[in-house]
Chain A
Amino acid sequence: MSSAIVILLTGVLVAVACALLGAFLILRRMAMMVDAISHAILPGLVAGYFLAQGPDLLAGFAGAVLAAVLTVSLVEALQNTGRVGGESAIGIVFPAMFALGTFVVSKYFANVHLDADAILYGNIEFAAFDLLYINGVSLGPQSLWMMSGLCLMNLLFVGLLYKELKLATFDPGLAAALGFSPALIHYALMTVVSITTVGAFTAVGAILVVALFVVPAATAYLLTDRLPVMILLAVALGALSAVCGYAVAIVLDASVAGSIASTTGVLFGLAFLFAPQHGLVARARRLQRQRLEFAVQTLLVHLLNHEQSAEQQAESAYSHLSGELRWHPPFARRVTDAAKRATLLQQHGDMLNLTEAGRAEAEAARATDLQR
């Protein structure tokens, strides 16, 4: 297998594994907790290596997962004291854990191969060269096995516990009342997130893995109102980020992991601006349209109120509109034009007259107004 394909596949698999859990992390507002986990695995990794007398994969893995679960428990314990609020508890625990890790590395592992850069930024570029050997037989790149395993684990986790995760996320009170312990589900999710983080950091590094957990899911949240669609979209966006990020990294000769994480950010930015329902542009246009629609209604009701009255001449004249309704002339023109286009009123010289449809619309508007 060529090196490029191994890197690309590794990237896609990591992105998919993370994105599968991302939707629940976003909906539980736990993005910062993932950040904490990603940093706090360092002392666990070091402790694992220390006990195994060297960089042993399994020992490091076990230590890191334990450290991550410990971090989650510590954060929760701090939050439960009621003295340190939500995010602050995270801000206290994870630097402490990370500091402990860096301290131990500098003190005891100065001569050992424990590359802090590799932990923080990953080395996906070398994914193809780190082969998995069992009984001396090469089974291909280790990273591919690892990331496939993570994907499978997370797929099974979300597949089996979808209903429980959804319920405990939406309504923990009901979940508890129905016998689905929210605490158990929370720790199960945190454990799976920890394992994924530990597995993924060798590829994309401990910091950028946060981007893969959080950003594709946050992007998907802007694009849909349905949880299953959100999960699928997050996975697709994660994979897309991996592919595009890799391509950009090759063209610009830049870090693959950094490029993948940046791509997730770019996709989020695009969705934030242009999402069909929740995007900034769609929102602004909707607001403008509503404003115009309401102004048309106001105009119709105004004309109806003064129909056949003594002051109709004065009130219904186009030239008086801006004065009567305090509208800027360009806005008054836009409103009148919109109403004319919808054949709700006709203009005879300077006079604005309601059409049949316009009268009906105005009467309906006035009626609903009274109901309120």
Chain B
Amino acid sequence: MSNVSIDHPVVIHDLTVAYRDKPVLWDIELSIPPGKLVAIIGPNGAGKSTLIKAVLGLVPTVAGTVSLFGGSYRERRQMIGYVPQRSSVDWDFPTHALDVVMMGTYGQLGWFKRPGKAQRELALRCLEQVGMADFANRQISQLSGGQQQRVFLARALAQDAQLYFMDEPFVGVDAVTERAIVNLLRDLRARGKTVVCVHHDLDSAPEYFDWLVLLNVRLIAAGPFETTFTSENLRKTYGGTMGAAIKHIEHFEEDRLAISVQADTKRPNGH
């Protein structure tokens, strides 16, 4: 079994996080396979962001272990990229987009060393990848919400990681940015990276992601969308209050039927 934990980017065992005497995450057991786009979905207060923060060692845990590529977060830090919630920083900070992206290279640089030409060029390439090259010298407060989010993603790219954690990258962004993020996620997956996103929107989730973690303090279910995104699981995650969620499932199941029919008819003609 130890092979599994080295292959798997994230293996969480018995993880419990509490705020005073209130459990935020309760006995989470989770293993995420490599090369997947993973959505963490659950209602407000389900502990979605906390799960990411606990994995990254940003909040204290009560019990349990987290192993990333078979090692501790400290040991694997260079392999891991992090995109915090956009609202977690002060966008009036006196700096420009390129400078923010360059911050992604600081981890590799280590203490005291200053970023140089190589870091600058890498940051510019990352800005290009998210379609923000023209805004490199723009003061960050003058960017729209979507542009700010793309700057954050470019910064994660500059970290050049194998495993990415993103906290609600799709919240409050425009359609252009949403497309840009989706393309970026697919590009990362094509390069064998694993991306774990906290996600809110049940509508877009099956289209954007291929692996699902349903969370509500406890782990409800985890696995590929095909087997995990079921009305049964969603009801368990959201309780009885989520009639709308069930509707999403029905759509998804219809779509899946349609897609599998298409795929079946296409297959013989394929390569």
A interface with B by C-beta (< 8 Å): 27, 160-164, 166-167, 169-171, 173-174, 176-180, 221, 224-227, 229-230
Cα A229 to Cα B99 with chains together (Å): 14
Cα A226 to Cα B94 with chains together (Å): 5
CB pair B94 A178 closer than 8 Å:
no
CB pair A173 B84 closer than 8 Å:
yes
CB pair A167 B84 closer than 8 Å:
no
CB pair A164 B100 closer than 8 Å:
no
Closest to A82 in B: B20
Q: How far is the CB of A62 from chain B (nearest CB, A)?
A: 27
Closest to B111 in A: A164
A170/B58 contact (C-beta < 8 A), A163-B115, A221-B94 known:
no
CB pair B95 A174 closer than 8 Å:
no
Tally of contact residues, B, Cβ under 8 A: 31
Cα A161 to Cα B103 with chains together (Å): 14
Q: How far is the CB of B20 from chain A (nearest CB, A)?
A: 9
CB pair A178 B115 closer than 8 Å:
no
Cα A230 to Cα B113 with chains together (Å): 22
Closest to B90 in A: A170
CB pair A227 B58 closer than 8 Å:
no
User: Residue B107 at the A interface, CB < 8 A?
Assistant: yes
Cα A169 to Cα B103 with chains together (Å): 12
Q: How far is the CB of A82 from chain B (nearest CB, A)?
A: 9
10 interchain pairs, CB-CB under 8 A:
A27-B94, A160-B112, A161-B112, A173-B53, A174-B82, A177-B57, A177-B77, A177-B82, A179-B110, A221-B94
User: Residue B114 at the A interface, CB < 8 A?
Assistant: yes
Cα A160 to Cα B77 with chains together (Å): 23
A174/B112 contact (C-beta < 8 A), A179-B77, A230-B94 known:
no
Find chain A residues with CB under 8 A from B114 CB: 162-163
CB pair B107 A178 closer than 8 Å:
yes
Closest to A26 in B: B94
User: Residue B106 at the A interface, CB < 8 A?
Assistant: yes
Q: How far is the CB of A219 from chain B (nearest CB, A)?
A: 13
**Neighbour of A226 across the interface among B58, B95, B103, B111, CB < 8 A:** B95
Closest to A178 in B: B107
Find chain B residues with CB under 8 A from A162 CB: 114
Cα A269 to Cα B224 with chains together (Å): 61
Chain A contact residues, majority secondary structure = helix
Find chain A residues with CB under 8 A from B103 CB: 166-167, 170-171, 174
Cα A169 to Cα B95 with chains together (Å): 12
CB pair A225 B107 closer than 8 Å:
no
**Neighbour of B84 across the interface among A166, A174, A221, A229, CB < 8 A:** A174
When each residue 88-126 of chain B gets 1 if its CB lies under 8 Å from chain A and 0 otherwise, what string results? 111001111000100100110111111100000000000
CB pair A171 B84 closer than 8 Å:
yes
Closest to B73 in A: A177
Find chain B residues with CB under 8 A from A221 CB: 94
Please provide the chain B residues from 129 to 175 with a CB less than 8 Å away from any CB of chain A in the complex.
Answer: 139, 141, 155, 159
**Neighbour of B94 across the interface among A171, A174, A224, CB < 8 A:** A224
CB pair B84 A227 closer than 8 Å:
no
Cα A320 to Cα B224 with chains together (Å): 67
Q: How far is the CB of A306 from chain B (nearest CB, A)?
A: 34
A173/B88 contact (C-beta < 8 A), A178-B77, A180-B106, A180-B111 known:
yes
Q: How far is the CB of B87 from chain A (nearest CB, A)?
A: 11
Q: How far is the CB of B73 from chain A (nearest CB, A)?
A: 9
Cα A176 to Cα B56 with chains together (Å): 9
Q: How far is the CB of A101 from chain B (nearest CB, A)?
A: 35
Find chain A residues with CB under 8 A from B93 CB: 27, 169-170, 227
CB pair A163 B109 closer than 8 Å:
yes
Cα A224 to Cα B141 with chains together (Å): 13
Q: How far is the CB of A235 from chain B (nearest CB, A)?
A: 15
Q: Which 4 residue pairs are nearest across A and B when measured between Cβ atoms?
A: A178-B107, A177-B82, A225-B139, A173-B84
**Neighbour of B106 across the interface among A163, A173, A224, CB < 8 A:** A163
Cα A28 to Cα B141 with chains together (Å): 17
Known: A164-B106, A177-B80, A221-B94. 4 other contacts (CB 8 A): A163-B109, A173-B82, A226-B96, A227-B94
A177/B56 contact (C-beta < 8 A), A170-B95, A226-B94, A227-B94 known:
yes
Cα A173 to Cα B103 with chains together (Å): 12
CB pair B106 A167 closer than 8 Å:
yes
Closest to A162 in B: B114
Q: Most chain-B Cβ atoms within 10 A of its Cβ — which of A162, A171, A174, A178?
A: A174
Closest to A226 in B: B94
A225/B58 contact (C-beta < 8 A), A174-B84, A179-B107 known:
no
Closest to B89 in A: A171
CB pair B96 A177 closer than 8 Å:
no
Find chain A residues with CB under 8 A from B111 CB: 164, 180
